[in-house]
């Protein structure tokens, strides 16, 4: 069914929930491959930088947050890779997903109310609106 699956992750409860659903999707196809995409936004990690974390340390810290999610897939024998990209999460996820032509994109949603989403927007909303392939939003 779905062979190339992109899962946007950030280590949050929402992305772990999305990953759990992606495991189910990937399990239905023996040759499925999952890409776990983490987007590092340096503007949002200024606090880490101020507290003397180098960009390499930030990479390692973020990768460590993703490893338990990767283990969900590898423990089921699902081919999985981690990609770390830089920039604003929404546009970077959209650009990567559209360039790589994934069969489906899975992303967690915080469940913002209408006013919050109108004022703040949300990464998941931007992704769902702009990615060319099907998007599975997990609340």
> How many domains, in total, are found in the chain?
1
For the record, the structure tokens of 84 come out as 């770390």
Partners of 81 in beta bridges? 35
Q: Residue 68: which CATH number?
A: 3.40.50.620
Q: Domain containing 88: what range? A: 4-138
pLDDT, tens only, 26-85: 999 999 999 999 998 766 655 555 555 676 777 677 778 899 999 999 999 999 999 999
- Whole-prediction pTM value? 0.86
Q: Report the distance separating Cα 3 and Cα 134, nearest Å.
A: 13
């Amino acid at each position: 069914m779905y062979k190339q699956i992109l899962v946007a992750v950030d280590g949050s409860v929402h992305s772990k929930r999305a990953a759990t659903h992606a495991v189910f999707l990937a399990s239905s196809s023996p040759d499925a491959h999952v890409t776990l995409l983490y987007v590092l936004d340096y503007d949002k990690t200024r606090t880490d930088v101020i507290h003397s974390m180098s960009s390499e340390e930030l990479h390692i810290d973020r990768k460590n947050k993703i490893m338990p999610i990767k283990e969900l897939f590898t423990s089921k024998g699902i081919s999985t890779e981690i990609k770390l990209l830089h920039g604003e999460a929404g546009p970077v996820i959209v650009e990567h997903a559209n360039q790589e032509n994934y069969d489906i994109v899975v992303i967690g949603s915080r469940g913002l109310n209408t006013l919050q989403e109108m004022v703040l927007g949300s990464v998941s909303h931007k992704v769902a609106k702009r990615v060319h392939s099907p998007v599975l939003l997990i609340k």
